[in-house]
A = this chain, B = another copy of it.
């Protein structure tokens, strides 16, 4: 129990930032003397410290708050996306500090060794550049593919042509930090990040839709990430929305949400194949539609209708408090919100409509990195003293 409570306090300080002991007691449902004992123990371990809040309390005395020891503990967070590789140092408390980034050519047959080599180089450089007093306590990776929960195996990276790769041990070995590497699906980790630090804070049930080359999803059910038996849950991009004359999908099926609202569908509908791709390409269409371009408007409306059907289905299934659009779907939501809302109004049961709020990502492109960092911090937050003992052994 003590371990569990120590973790809960550290997690709260990590997520909320400076917080008074009274507020901690309140949030965690523990009495103040227990909180004092726990924060004393965490202070002794060098994980938190107490200091003045900066603002003065009613009585004129500055009140004390507990803060994370952000200068002493950090994780490495990586993002393996279709068109970029990113690495960042993320400190206890959640701030994303130094980062390294490389663009990748979009290729279906990228080389594992090359990707691992680039990431490991970034990681070592970030460790070298960190203050001498700071220590790395975990490594997390957001990956644009299906990740087996049991062992982190990359089962399928649909837009990269990889299958069944043991990516984590390769990266762990090349980093040489003696730390295991934890891998998660990019959309799952984005959902986790939005839930803990973004547009979904405070919601027990949340649906996150992510658009990139493909369309992925992450879903929070009862405060926890839906993973499924093996970690492959929330593949909302492969929900069939258009069975009649649906476009072929990368997965081999047709009429999937990804096939109808992904980047390729939008570019094609707008007659812009061969022009800019990715976020830039999508943003250009949204801007053109706002400026009266009829083809762009029609394309956005079409994609918005399909997206609306997908969203309506998800609200009926999950009765969520929030639906969050990230990546290119964030742009599309901004450009086609009325169509999406109309579909929700037409097809969601009224009782579930009452609740669901639609909004764009708050963390934007950082969602994957923030999620990967939370994955990397998980061991420390679950059992702080045990984790430190292992790391400093």
Q: A residues within 8 Å of B by Cβ?
A: 1, 146, 148, 155-156, 203-205, 219, 221-222, 224, 226-236, 238-245, 251-253, 256, 309, 312-313, 316-321, 346-352, 354-355
CB within 8 Å for A316 and B238 given contacts A221-B222, A309-B243, A349-B146: yes
Assembly CA distance A223 to B239 (angstroms): 23
B239 and A316 contacting across the interface, CB-CB below 8 Å = yes
Extra pairs beyond A229-B355, A253-B346 (6, CB < 8 Å): A226-B318, A228-B320, A234-B317, A235-B316, A240-B241, A240-B312
A221 partner residues in chain B, CB cutoff 8 A: 221-222, 226
Assembly CA distance A1 to B2 (angstroms): 13
The 8 lowest CB-CB distance pairs between A and B, nearest first, are A228-B319, A253-B347, A233-B319, A232-B319, A235-B316, A244-B244, A238-B316, A239-B313
A219 partner residues in chain B, CB cutoff 8 A: 317
Assembly CA distance A244 to B203 (angstroms): 34
Assembly CA distance A346 to B312 (angstroms): 24
Identity of the chain B residue whose Cβ is nearest the Cβ of A221 in the assembled complex: B221
A317 and B241 contacting across the interface, CB-CB below 8 Å = no
B313 and A230 contacting across the interface, CB-CB below 8 Å = no
A232 and B352 contacting across the interface, CB-CB below 8 Å = yes
CB within 8 Å for A229 and B316 given contacts A221-B222, A235-B352: no
Shortest C-beta distance, A165 to chain B (Å), equals: 13
Assembly CA distance A317 to B317 (angstroms): 10
B351 and A156 contacting across the interface, CB-CB below 8 Å = yes
Assembly CA distance A238 to B47 (angstroms): 49
Shortest C-beta distance, A49 to chain B (Å), equals: 32
A205 partner residues in chain B, CB cutoff 8 A: 228-229, 233
Assembly CA distance A163 to B319 (angstroms): 18
B146 and A240 contacting across the interface, CB-CB below 8 Å = no
What are 18 A-to-B residue pairs whose CB atoms are below 8 Å? A205-B229, A222-B226, A222-B227, A228-B355, A229-B320, A230-B352, A232-B351, A235-B316, A236-B317, A238-B313, A238-B316, A238-B348, A238-B349, A239-B316, A240-B241, A240-B312, A253-B347, A313-B313
Shortest C-beta distance, A34 to chain B (Å), equals: 16
